Structure formats: C-alpha cells, structure tokens
Amino acid sequence: MTRSIIYSFLVALVSFGFIACDSDDNGKQTKVPEGAKPPTEFKLGDCEDEANAKDAIKLVVNNWGGQSDQEFASIELFADGHFLITTPKAGKLPKRAANATRSANIFKRHGDAPLKTRATDINGSIDLENGAYIYGTFTRVKEGVYSLSNNTMIEIKDKHVSGSTTIIYTNRYGVKIAVAVTVDFDYKPKPVVRQLCRSWRMDSSELWFTTEDTYIAYAKQWLKLGRVMQEVTITPEGRAMGFDEDDVAEDKDDYCLRLVFSPCGTYLCFYKDGEVEVGFWEWKDLQNGVMRLWEPFDIDDDDDDDDVDEYMDVTVRFDGKKIRIYHDFMDEENDVMFRAYGVSTFSARY
C-alpha cells in the first residue's frame, strides 16, 4: 500500500526519539479501548442463507482428462452466486513480498503488487493477476450443472458425493473434458460457516494506537454516498510526542468495500480503487470465534529483520445481520513496543 498507518506510526516514533519506559519505572499497561473489546460470548448471527448457499462448493483437480492443456486448478462456487477459478498460473507466480512496514489492519492492502483486475468478456468476468484467477458469476442450470459467466460449464455427475469424483467441464470452445476432482462438502452441516460465508459490505474500520502505557491516536473510516470519510483523533499525549493527523491517516484507496468468504477457505477483499486481493482463512478456535487469515506473501523479506508470522489471528463476532472482526497487532521497533487494536464492521449484503 502507498501509505501504511503503521509506517507513519513507526516514522513518528523514530523521528521524535520516543523511548518506552522501562518496566522498573512504570509497570502500567494501557487498557484495551472499550470499542476494541470483542464481546465474550460467541453466538451465531441472524442472516438468511444467500441464494446459492446450497451450491457453494470447491472442486480441486486431481487429474485433467483429454489432450488439451489444463485450464484450471480449482473452481469455487460462492454462496452469493460468484465463482473463483484458480488457474495453473497461480501456482507458478512468485510470492509477493510484503512491505517491511505492515499495516495493523488485515483488511488493508499488504503487498507491493496487488492483484490487478480487468474485465475479460461482455458478461463481466474479471481477470486477476494476468489470468492466475478468474472471478465471475454462475447460474444453476439444474442440480449439479452450472453455467459460468466466462462461457464455461461444469456438471457434477454425482450430486451427493464427497471426496473424489469426476465432473464434465465444457470450455469456452464447447469442448467437453472429463476431470477427476476432490470435492469439499464438509462445511455444509456447520451453521456458523453458513453465517460467515457470504458477501459483506464494510460499514466502518476503526483503529486505536497505543504504546505500553499511553494512548496515541484513534482513526476511523466509513463510506458515505460513495466517498470514504475519515476521522482522526490524536491524544494530548500523542501530540506531545509530535504526532499529527497526517501521521495516522489512512490511504482512502485502500478502503475495503466488500469482503467475501467462501466456505472452502478462501476470501476476497475488493478495494475502493477497484483492485482485489485473494487470501485464505480457517478456524483456529471455532468455539471462541477465533479465525486465522493469511495472504500469499513471502514475509521472509531480506529488508525486514523482524521474525514475522505469515498470518493474523482475529476474533469474529456476529450481531444480527452484521459481523465485527477484531484484530490486535503488536510490534517493537527501536526499543518501543507499540500496539494497534482494530475492529472492522460489515453488513451482510452484496
């Protein structure tokens, strides 16, 4: 991303020579801001199944039939009526290096080279990363048969299969190919996955910045009449250290308009400037609503001396037809321990 909040935060700390107090001098810890605390109870939301919830599935190629080149590695049908094709090109792409200064917000662009998008046909299918992924809509022709907006079709012969089976894939030239695939059906009995896996529109994104014992700033973004609005508050303590609004202001182009979870472990984030990132998710602690998110980055960057994990754990809380995703980011630079608490609020709608 062009201007990371954490980058600005670190620059300000370094520029003004702020040194964290030793624990012997000050044993206090900054309390978690009220708005950043997830409710203790993890309960289901109140969202109706999306129109294609029963069709949501992932087909992973085991063996490509016929003489033609393999056209996809997997196909996912999402509950909102969209599909994501992962092509063999995706497995050959070099990993993108994450910025050495990373954002505290998981729903901000983190890579130096986001997935560029372009329309590939009159039906509105979208090409990501020069054909590594294709995103579009699908139509359920009949049970087990789906027409995709990129002029292809898939037919699942065994409607109740889990594990391995053979599908008939019709490519855009009308050629039918038998493809051996693994089918992911395991999620279907889980109500929590049905609540999560849909299209979500971001209502707001909030971040609180602290040191070990001091509040620094608060930043919030939301969408109004198609424009990204922003509020930034610097505490007196933060101003005494030299922070101003520009130090914690977010790039409005990095605002996540829409977030889509697939029941088979993929998520897509659509940004204000039209770009898209593909990431992956899994439950780390389903009972307590803790989710692990990660993106296809090579975090082992030579320019970054930190030992950084390649994922972020977040806490999910449903509230009727809304979802709030709480995240907590810590890092230490130049003997300064800083922390950012965040909450992203979404509504269940396309």
Which of 78-87, 99-108, 147-156, 315-324 is least confident?
Answer: 99-108
- What band does 9 get if pLDDT is binned at 50, 70 and 90? very low
Interval 71-83 mean pLDDT? 94
DSSP character for 135?
A: E
Contact present, 307 and 2 (Cβ < 8 Å): no
Which residue intervals of the chain bear CATH 2.40.128?
5-21+36-44+193-348
Interval 129-157 mean pLDDT? 91
- pLDDT higher than threshold 50 for residue 108: yes
Give every CB contact of residue 294 below 8 A, 6+ residues apart in sequence: 279, 280, 281, 310, 311, 312
Q: Which residue has the tokens 């206090």?
A: 28
* The predicted structure's pLDDT at residue 44: 94
> Residue 323 corresponds to which amino acid?
I
Other C-beta atoms closer than 10 Å to the C-beta of 87 total 20
Give every CB contact of residue 281 below 8 A, 6+ residues apart in sequence: 261, 265, 266, 267, 291, 292, 293, 294
pLDDT in tens, 228-237: 999 999 999 8
Other C-beta atoms closer than 10 Å to the C-beta of 122 total 8
pLDDT in tens, 142-153: 988 999 999 999
* The predicted structure's pLDDT at residue 332: 75
Interval 194-222 mean pLDDT? 91
Q: What CATH class is the domain 5-21+36-44+193-348?
A: mainly beta
Q: How many CA atoms lie within 13 A of 344 on its CB side?
A: 21
Q: What share of the chain is helix, strand, coil (3-state, %, to 5)?
A: 10, 45, 45
pTM of the model: 0.81
Alpha-carbon distances, residue 104 vs 107, 159, 177, 238, 339 (angstroms): 9, 43, 45, 18, 9
* The predicted structure's pLDDT at residue 188: 63
Among 161, 156, 210, 158, residue whose Cα is nearest residue 179: 156
